[in-house]
Amino acid sequence: MKRSLALILLVLVAGCGLFPETQDETKGWSAQKLYSEAKSEMGDGNYTKAIKYFETLEARYPYGRYAQQSQLEVAYAYFKDNEPISAIAACDRFIKLHPNHPNVDYAYYLKGLANFNEDLGLLGAIANQDLSERDPKAAKDSFDAFKELVTRFPNSKYTPDATLRMNYLVNALASNEVHVARYYARRGAHVAAVNRAQAALQHYPQAPATEEALAIMVKSYDALGLIELRDDARRVLVKNHPNSKYLGEITQEAKPWWKLW
């Protein structure tokens, strides 16, 4: 028994030599070569390999301009490799470590893009998914990143595109609130519907979706028998949207809920 066990161990030890250790192709590479190869791989669309090289560079050469630039480049590589969470984390890290870096505006922009793409199609998803089941956190985080960029770096070359995306996000977020309000109204939860419609008006007063928000408030107040509030909401709707398509659905003097004739 002991001889058999010893023989097995001997075979296992000898067998280990049959499998050579994996060679590190980057062994001995300088920071410049690692950075150059990473950029080359990224240019060829090999983002996973580029990420490996950038991270290896920073681990081996944590100081200097190549390591610093790699921290920003790896964020872009993660973004292109459809890894938005890792891209956002890399952007946050770069911003924290280098708040005064000449390219920190790009870090904010890329963070906004990563969040934006994570929730891309927020408005288009209405037809496919009930937005009351969606979390608009990514859209809000994207807006905040773009806002920080626009506020701190108004002359940045990324600011015009960030501004356009902010406008889209405002409309998307307002539509989200209104869609949830509509969801509640259809199910008879009129207090909740009013609250979500009011949130859209309060936070996104210039968004097109506020037109429907006011209409929902009129209908929900009417259903609750709150006549004065109903009429106030209707007056605001008429004043701001005199040609609203929703006005045809709302009678000026709707009957109180208790009046049956």
Average pLDDT, integer, range 129-157: 84
Q: Cβ atoms within 10 A of the Cβ of 172, count?
A: 26
pLDDT greater than 90 at residue 2:
no
Measured in residues, the chain has a length of 261
* SS3 (DSSP) at 7: helix
pLDDT at res. 17: 46
Average pLDDT, integer, range 226-248: 93
Rounded CA-CA distance 134/143 in Å is: 17
* Residue whose C-alpha is closest to residue 49's, from 77, 73, 21, 87: 77
* SS3 (DSSP) at 243: coil
Average pLDDT, integer, range 111-137: 64
pLDDT at res. 93: 96
pLDDT in tens, 32-57: 999 999 999 999 999 999 999 999 99
Average pLDDT, integer, range 163-177: 92
pLDDT greater than 50 at residue 235:
yes
pLDDT at res. 219: 96
Average pLDDT, integer, range 85-105: 96
* Residue whose C-alpha is closest to residue 230's, from 201, 204, 256, 205: 256
pLDDT at res. 227: 94
pLDDT at res. 241: 93
pLDDT in tens, 175-214: 999 999 999 999 999 999 999 999 999 999 989 999 999 9
* Residue whose C-alpha is closest to residue 109's, from 142, 61, 78, 68: 142
The band of 130, judged by pLDDT with boundaries at 50, 70 and 90, is very low
Q: Cβ atoms within 10 A of the Cβ of 180, count?
A: 23
- Phi and psi dihedrals of 106, rounded to 5? -65, -35
Q: Worst-scoring range by mean pLDDT, 6-10, 54-58, 80-84, 190-194?
A: 6-10
Query: Does residue 150 or residue 254 have the better pLDDT?
Result: 150
* SS3 (DSSP) at 61: coil
SS3 per residue for 13-68: HHHHCCCCCCCCCCCCCCHHHHHHHHHHHHHCCCHHHHHHHHHHHHHHCCCCHHHH
Measured distance between the N- and C-terminal CA atoms of the chain, rounded to whole angstroms: 101
pLDDT at res. 123: 47
pLDDT at res. 127: 43
